[in-house]
Amino acid sequence: MSEIQDQSDPQGARRSTLFRWLDSRTGLDAVMREALDEPIPGGARFAYVFGSALLFIFISQVITGVFLALYYVPSADHAHTTVAYITKAVTAGSFLRSIHAYGSSAMVILLLLHVTQTFLYGSYKGRRELLWLSGCILFVLVLCMAFTGYLLPWDQKAYFASAVGTNIASEVPIIGDWLKRFMRGGADMGTLTLSRFFVAHVLGVPAAIFAFVALHVYLFRKAGAAGPISEDPVAPKQRTEPFYPRQVIVDAAFALLIIALLASMAHFLPFDLGPQANPADTRYIPRPEWYYIPIFQWLKYWPGALSFVGIVVIPGIIAFLFASLPFLDRRMERRPWKRPIAVGTYVFVFLALFGLGYASYHSDHSDPGYAAQIVAQQRDTEEFMRKPFEPEVAQSTASLSVIPANSLVAQGAQIYQTQSCNACHGDGGVGTPAGPKLTGIHQRFSENHLSDVLRTPSAKMVAGGMAPIDLPPDTMKALVAYLESL
């Protein structure tokens, strides 16, 4: 804006020098006007808050997600222990993680409310087909975020729910097996699965969400706010009110309400973490997050050869009809009571989802063995949450049941067996009455010192029956590496 215009504008005179300095370089004033003066036919309303609330909660997810990523390591060995560390040891870690985890549910709820409002108000009508389609893509992307995020804590719940989720993909005809392997990074779930889900969760899907949010907002501004149900969606006639200040205040108040709700849930009901995933546990009953339960229940009705119909055909038809809604429903009528088919279908779909959710709850609680297992799983989770933080990585290398990662150490472990060291010192160096434990020996003996002691044992060791060990240097090195790893 030029200096002359500034002087003629009564507000311009009151604006600070800083604002004018910025405005002459960035066009800030015009940008703010474009953003804030959007006309809303019929005036500000509470019904319009859900779109901006979704944007707000998405930003909250990005910020809390960045903090979680500071500690999180996406590998089968470290994922669970790092999430346990965030939950139990990091300052405000449990709070931030809970905001992030509850935030994902909040996002799904807001998404459903936003779709409901758009649907009931007929706000998809009147040249808003692309706006609706970009919204459909955002819907799918948000569900992808929820799915990929669910695996990352690598606890029992996460592991088994995602095992089911990726198994479902293999039911897709022709490409099913490939799809499952693509998601898992192999036949089984492990570090490769985690890193794929992690990359999708923090890079791929968020990048797509940013792009589609920009497109969605652009298309929304281009079409203009649809206004109340009595309004003509193409050429609004009602008196308009600018977006700022009243709609901004209503939106901000709603955002504050959401963050207050999330913060109190995070504070009083911290989101839990179960014990580390144990793929060998065959009794575990997997359950997805609540918003996936109706779909989960639905799939149970399509066993064997029918699964193709239940997993691909019917959901495909529903998704197609949903996405093409603004192309199918061309009437300009927006009042819900004049659109019985549309509103009836909507109510039917919601009742069906609730019905499926209830059926799942009912079948979980009617079989006593099943119900007991679910209670036991909950108890394990609560027990794990009560325990103080312990790094699980060190624990797992101490037991011989896992193969040591390092090949020198693995070689040493074999020499330890062939030289019968375990006869007196026990498997894994835990000690027996015939010989002391060797775990933690690295704290007292350096590598050189240890190989010296083994070549020329002390009198006490000889007295205990331990013969001097003469091994080629390479073999000795491996044995020492193994002992130091205990």
Which spans of this chain sit near ligand HEC (rule: CB under 6 A)? Answer: 419-421, 423-425, 434-436, 438, 441, 450, 453-454, 458, 460-461, 464-466, 469, 479, 483
Please state the closest distance from residue 486 (CB atom) to ligand HEC, in A.
10
Extract the tokens encoding 466.
């331990």
Closest distance to ligand HEC from the beta carbon of 393 (Å): 24
Quick check: helix, strand or coil at residue 269?
Answer: coil
Q: Are 80 and 277 in contact (CB under 8 A)?
A: yes
Q: Which residues contact 225 (CB under 8 A, 6 or more apart)?
A: 38, 39, 40, 41, 48
Q: Whose structure tokens read 């346990």? A: 84
Using an 8 Å Cβ cutoff, are 128 and 330 in contact? no
Closest CA to 325 of 115, 144, 114: 115
Q: Which CB atom, from 362 or from 449, has the smaller least distance to ligand HEC?
A: 449
Smallest gap from Cβ 415 to ligand HEC, in A, equals: 7
79 versus 478: smaller Cβ distance to ligand HEC: 478
Residues contacting 159, CB < 8 A, separation 6+: 151, 189, 277, 278, 279
DSSP 8-class letter at 431: -
Closest contact distance (angstroms) between CB of 432 and ligand HEC is 9
Q: How far is the CB of 462 from ligand HEC (least distance, A)?
A: 8
In 3D space, the residue among 328, 347, 350, 486 whose CA is nearest the CA of residue 421 turns out to be: 486
**Which residue, 131 or 454, is less far from ligand HEC as judged by CB?**
454
Q: What angle do CA 52, 57, 61 make, to 5 degrees?
A: 145
Residue closest to ligand HEC, measured at CB: 464
Q: How far is the CB of 437 from ligand HEC (least distance, A)?
A: 8
Measured from the CB atom, is 359 or 461 closer to ligand HEC? 461
Nearer to ligand HEC by Cβ, of 311 and 466: the residue is 466
Q: Which is nearer to ligand HEC, 107 or 480 (CB)?
A: 480
Residue bearing tokens 């193409």: 234
Least distance in Å: CB of 80 to ligand HEC?
33
For the range 63-69, what are the long-range contacts, defined as Cβ-Cβ under 8 Å and sequence gap of 24 or more?
Answer: 64/96, 64/97, 64/99, 64/100, 64/103, 65/100, 65/202, 67/96, 68/96, 68/97, 68/100, 69/202
Q: Residue 126 in 3-state DSSP? A: coil
Q: Which is nearer to ligand HEC, 293 or 481 (CB)?
A: 481
Nearer to ligand HEC, 14 or 460 (CB): 460
Residue with Cβ nearer ligand HEC (214 or 423): 423
**Whole-number minimum distance, CB 424 to ligand HEC, in Å?**
3
From the CB of 76, what's the least distance to ligand HEC, in Å?
31
CB nearer ligand HEC, residue 353 or residue 453: 453
> 54, 111 in Cβ contact below 8 A?
yes
C-beta of 449: minimal distance to ligand HEC in Å?
9
In the DSSP assignment, the letter for residue 41 is: E
Q: Which is nearer to ligand HEC, 287 or 442 (CB)?
A: 442
Whole-angstrom Cα distance, residue 330 to residue 137? Answer: 21
d(CA 142, CA 205): 8
CB of 398 to ligand HEC, least distance (A): 16
Can you read off the two tokens belonging to residue 406?
């390092």
Q: How far apart are CA 481 and CA 447, in angstroms?
A: 8
- Of 155, 434, 405, 424, residue with least CA distance to 279: 155
